Amino acid sequence: MRKGIYILPSLCTTGNAVCGFYSIISVMNGVMIHSEGDVEKSQQAFLAAAYAIMLGIIFDGIDGRIARMTKSTSRFGLEFDSLADLISFGLAPGLLVYSWALRPYGKIGWLAAFLFVICGALRLARFNTQSSGGEGKYFTGLPIPAAAGVIATLIIFYFNYWESFVGFLRYRAITTVIIVYVLAFLMVSTVKFRSFKKFDIKKRKPFNTVLGLILIILIIIMKPQIMVFLIFWGYTLFGAVEGVYLLVKKLTSPRIEQEKRKPIFRRRKKDMYDKGENQNF
């Protein structure tokens, strides 16, 4: 008996892949136009590529949520989603950031872009082999859509508010190289980043949470370029700091627990010995 595939989630995943492919085409067009001397049109092409990545992120969020709501998750959908993610959030942002800022650095530049792509692929492979399927409270490593969003929102923010980037213009290439290397490292790291997959909009929420969501939506409508930039960069920075804190806490907690589990008479004996030494001095 032939097995079918779930249409609605697969259509959203296909939309994600289309966005990634369009982003790659836009980058190629931007490079070609820039070589002809039309800088303004090349910038528009790069901007279109960044927006396509952001649209792909929306499709990627929709397909998984639809699959969970309709109970239509499958191994096929997981693998198809990962392949689409590699196109939209690996190849597309890697090519975009290289063409936009990393080319002046030659080998260092294309190695940074390649590292971003390969670390994204490794991140997806690890996600697919995790027993939990990424359904827990935390992700292990920075999710590849978030890493792609950091790059895309940086370019969107740059082209819309380039007047504020006077200092960044001078060091754009080296700053972007560092950002790409850090993102690549975070994707394959064991740092924990929060997952919002279990956020159920149908359940009752505290008034402050609802008010905060409404405020975020209003700001996105008024200043979308600024808000999406803050969301992706804030998520990455907060996640990195929180992840390092949890990692340090995990490494230090066994010592504390071990100290607590010591027999009481041993601890008292040690305390008496310490007091005796202090009295001798």
CB atoms within 10 A of CB 179: 20
pLDDT tens across the length of the chain (281 residues): 345 557 888 899 999 999 999 999 999 999 999 999 888 899 999 999 999 999 999 999 898 888 878 777 788 888 999 999 999 999 999 999 999 999 888 888 999 999 999 999 999 999 888 755 555 678 889 999 999 999 999 999 988 887 566 566 667 788 899 999 999 999 999 888 888 665 555 555 565 666 767 777 777 777 788 888 888 999 999 988 987 887 788 888 766 555 556 555 455 555 555 555 455 44
The string of DSSP letters for 219-260 reads HHHHSHHHHHHHHHHHHHHHHHHHHHHHHHHHHHHHHHHHHH
**Angle between helical axes of 107-129 and 75-86 (0-180°, round to 10):** 170
Rounded to whole angstroms, how far apart are CA atoms 251 and 246?
9
Q: What is the pLDDT of residue 160?
A: 85
Q: What is the pLDDT of residue 194?
A: 83
Q: What is the pLDDT of residue 1?
A: 37
Residue 166 CB-half CA count within 13 A:
2
Q: What is the pLDDT of residue 223?
A: 78
Q: What is the pLDDT of residue 25?
A: 98
Contacts 24+ apart (CB under 8 A), 268-273: none
Q: What is the pLDDT of residue 224?
A: 81
Contact status, residue 14 vs residue 66, Cβ threshold 8 Å? no
Rounded to whole angstroms, how far apart are CA atoms 179 and 49?
19
Rounded to whole angstroms, how far apart are CA atoms 52 and 152?
9
* Burial of 185 from C-beta contacts in 10 A (0-12 / 13-18 / 19+): middle
Domain boundaries, the chain: 7-199
Tell me the CATH number for domain 7-199.
Answer: 1.20.120.1760
Q: pTM for the full model? A: 0.80
Q: Which residues pair with 139 in a beta bridge?
A: 193
